[in-house]
Structure 1
Amino acid sequence: GTPQKARARDLLRKHYGLGLGPPPPLGGAKSSQDPMDFDSPVFDARAYYEQLITTSSLPTLLKTENDLLTEIRQLDSERQSLVYNHHHELIAASDTIAAMKSRAENLDADLDLLRAAFSEISRLSAEIAVEH
């Protein structure tokens, strides 16, 4: 995301004691094992919720809800965009394959004519060789 979003996320993580910085690379050697880290494979939503509800004020809870809803909408939008882009690429690939098939079918007739022409050339060449 943007530096402003990263900063906001870092502030939230610092406030909730969740650790700072961008999420670790997926499958990396330093993969976070923090159950309070959203991006951790061992993220524990129930424990995060319990900590959040017992340590945060109402305004903080409302802000967290708003931030989470915003992030969910953004991720959903990104997901829809990815699905659309992949769908578009699939349709383009299908169109390309159909065009290639059509051209290949047109080539069949040309290849038959070429084969007949070469057969005729071979026949004429054999006749000329016999005459000499």
Structure 2
Amino acid sequence: GGSTRISGARASGIDSATFDADRFIRSLLKGTRIDGLMAKSAEMATEVRSLDGDMQMLVYENYNKFISATDTIRSMKTNVDGMGSQMEELMSTIDSVAERSNAVNSKLQQRRDNIEDLNRVRALLRKLQAVFDLPRKLRAALDADALEIAVQQYTAAAPVLKKYGHQGTFRGVAAEAGELSREVVAALRKRLLERKDEASECIQLLRRMGEPVEALQEDFLECRRVRMEAILAGAERVVDLMCVAAGLECSG
């Protein structure tokens, strides 16, 4: 009967979240004999010791974990603090590098500007030298009947002649080059009349020398007309010869 009452007391929910200790004790004292109470006391003492051991073990295990976690946090904090100083040093280095890079870029830009200026001056000097050499080269091309080369040389130097031809020593060069350019035009017109198969090329070269398009068209048409008449005249002579050879009378 005692064990039954103890079981009923145990069933009252000692492990429940709503367990009422006073009510449990009153119920236990009221419904349990002395020997049952002694047994219950011994049982509970054993459970308390077991639970106390478990608690100590849990505390020990968690204490070690707590210590380890504390050490880890302290190490992380040290590393973070170190990283902070390293980041500041890194940012300072980056700023210094950026400043030096900007200074280098500025100096390089100045040098690039100077080089570009020198290149422009050099290119202009080459053009001016080409102008000074133009009369000699034009004369050589005319003497060699290399009119294409003469036109190429004159048109290449024409912009510089137009810009500087009225200044100082360029006046004499410009005047001489002008006379020679007129000789080139005259030689091209002569070739246009004498070499009918080169009419198109001659017209193009004359146009590059600045000759009026209208006049060139008239010259081209006249050249074609003369060439056509020559072809027809030649054809008539061939026909006449064929008629004579055949003993026939051909009309003009």
Q: Tell me the TM-score normalized by structure 1.
A: 0.59
Per-residue CA deviation, residues 9-50 of structure 1 (Å, 9 max, x unaligned), is: xxx678632476xxxxxxxxxxxxxxx332232432332322
Is 1:45 the equivalent of 2:4?
no
**Distance in 2 separating the partners of 1:17 and 1:105:** 62
1:83-94 matched pairs, under 5 angstroms: 83-94=59-70
1:62 maps to which of 34, 38, 44: 38
The corresponding residue for 2:92 is 116
Equivalent position amino acid for 1:46 in 2 = I
Unaligned ranges ≥5, structure 2? 110-252
Is 1:127 the equivalent of 2:103?
yes
Which secondary structure does the structure 1 equivalent of 2:8 belong to?
coil
Runs of 4+ in 1 over 6 A off after TM superposition: none
CA contact (8 A) 1:52 1:61 kept: no
**Distance in 1 separating the partners of 2:10 and 2:97:** 81
1:98 maps to which of 63, 74, 78: 74
Cα pair distance change 1:116/1:42, threshold 3 Å: closer
CA contact (8 A) 1:19 1:37 kept: yes
Unaligned ranges ≥5, structure 1? 1-11, 21-35
Q: Which has the higher helix share?
A: 2
**Distance in 2 separating the partners of 1:103 and 1:74:** 43
The corresponding residue for 1:17 is 8
Per-residue CA deviation, residues 73-93 of structure 1 (Å, 9 max, x unaligned), is: 111222222333333232222
Q: Tell me the TM-score normalized by structure 2.
A: 0.35
Q: CA deviation at 1:97?
A: 1.6
Per-residue CA deviation, residues 49-90 of structure 1 (Å, 9 max, x unaligned), is: 22343xx362x4433222111111111222222333333232
Between Structure 1 and Structure 2, how many residues are aligned?
Answer: 103
The corresponding residue for 2:83 is 107
Higher relative contact order (CA 8 A, sep 6+): 2
CA contact (8 A) 1:13 1:19 kept: no
C-alpha RMSD of the superposition: 2.7
The corresponding residue for 2:237 is none
Cα pair distance change 1:15/1:49, threshold 3 Å: closer
Q: CA deviation at 1:118?
A: 0.8
The corresponding residue for 1:74 is 50
Instruction: Kindly name which structure, 1 or 2, has the bigger radius of gyration based on alpha carbons.
Output: 2
Equivalent position amino acid for 2:51 in 1 = L
